Structure 1
Amino acid sequence: MTVKAILEAKGHAVVTLGPNAKLAEAIQLLADRRIGALVITNGDRKIVGILSERDVVRVVAKEGAAALELPVRAVMTPKVKICNANHTVNEVMEIMTNGRFRHLPVEKDGLLDGIISIGDVVKRRIETVEREAEQIKAYIATA
């Protein structure tokens, strides 16, 4: 299973925000959409960062309520790990596990093309394991 297959099933929609938006706006967007991260892009969907709930917690713990007025660019993670449509589920799991994060933007031709969450990866992995188990049961039953 590849990232391409996951995106074909779930779609390519990604919630994004510009780097000059205030953190308060980003937090409201995270809450309204019930998501754990925003991909920060410039006007042409070039990825410039990612803002996760962890980023928000860290800055609020350090700066208090004043953090809400900070621009997203001051809080986001600017060095974003990405994947592309050809990455496998196992490769994406390894990237997420090694980096200790739950969201991985998908890039195509240097622009944002989708996002994969740990939930997407786990769901696909479980489907694969269940399918393999059914195939083994069917094989044993016919032997």
Structure 2
Amino acid sequence: MTVKAILAAKGHDVVTLGPNEKLSEAIRILAEYRIGALVVTNGDRKIVGILSERDVVRMLAREGAAALDTPVRSAMTPKVKICNENHTVNELMEIMTTGRFRHLPVEKDGLLDGIVSIGDVVKRRIEDVEREAEEIRAYIATA
């Protein structure tokens, strides 16, 4: 299974935020949408960073309550690892495991096209394993 198939099932919607928004606004959005990361764009769907819950916690630990008034660009991860619609589930698992992160923005033609989470990857991998097991059972039953 590929990223293209995952996005076909879950959609291409991504919650984004600008780099000049306050960290307090980012926290509000993360809580409102019950998500673990926001993709940071300049409004043109060009990815300039990603802000995860871990980034927020690190900033709060470093700056205390004053961090809430700082711009998102101060807390975000600017070097974003991305994927494209041709990446496979196994490739995503390797990228996420190696990088130790749970969200991968999907880029198409240089612009944000979606996001894949570790939950999406695990769900699709389980579906693949279950389908393979059923095919083996069907093959054995007909043999």
Give the structure-2-normalised TM-score. Answer: 0.99
The answer for the alignment partner of 1:17 in structure 2 is 17
Equivalent position of 2:70 in the other structure: 70
Q: Percent of aligned positions with the same letter in both sequences? A: 84
Q: Runs of 4 or more off by more than 6 Å in structure 1?
A: none
The Cα shift of 1:43 comes to 1.8
1:116 aligns with 116
Count of residue pairs the alignment pairs up: 143
Offset of residue 53 of structure 1: 0.1
What SS is found at the alignment partner of 1:94? helix
Gaps of 5+ in 2: none
Look up the SS of the partner of 1:82 in the other structure: coil
Partner residue, 2:140: 140
Give the superposition deviation at 1:22. Answer: 0.1
Residue 4 of structure 1 pairs with residue 4 of structure 2? yes
Matches of 2:73 and 2:46 in 1, distance apart? 14
User: Equivalents in 2 of 1:63, 1:72: separation in Å?
Assistant: 13
Code of the aligned partner of 2:40 = I
Which letter maps to 2:44?
D
Which runs of no fewer than 5 residues in structure 1 stay unpaired? none
Which residues of 2 match residues 1-143 of structure 1 at below 5 A?
A: 1-143=1-143
**SS of structure 2 residue aligned to 1:78:** coil
Tell me how far 1:142 sits from its aligned partner.
1.0
Task: State the Cα distance separating 1:62 from its structure 2 match.
Answer: 1.1
Aligned-residue CA RMSD in angstroms?
A: 0.4
Partner Cα separation in structure 2 for residue 89 and residue 6 of structure 1: 9
State the AA in 2 paired with 1:17.
L
Output the amino acid matched with 1:104. Answer: L
Cα distance between partner residues in 2 of 1:105 and 1:127: 22
| Aligned equivalents of 2:11, 2:86: Cα separation in 1 | 16
Distance 2:23 2:39 in 1: 13
- Structure 1 residue 57: Cα displacement: 0.5
Give the secondary-structure state (helix, strand or coil) at the position aligned to 1:13.
coil
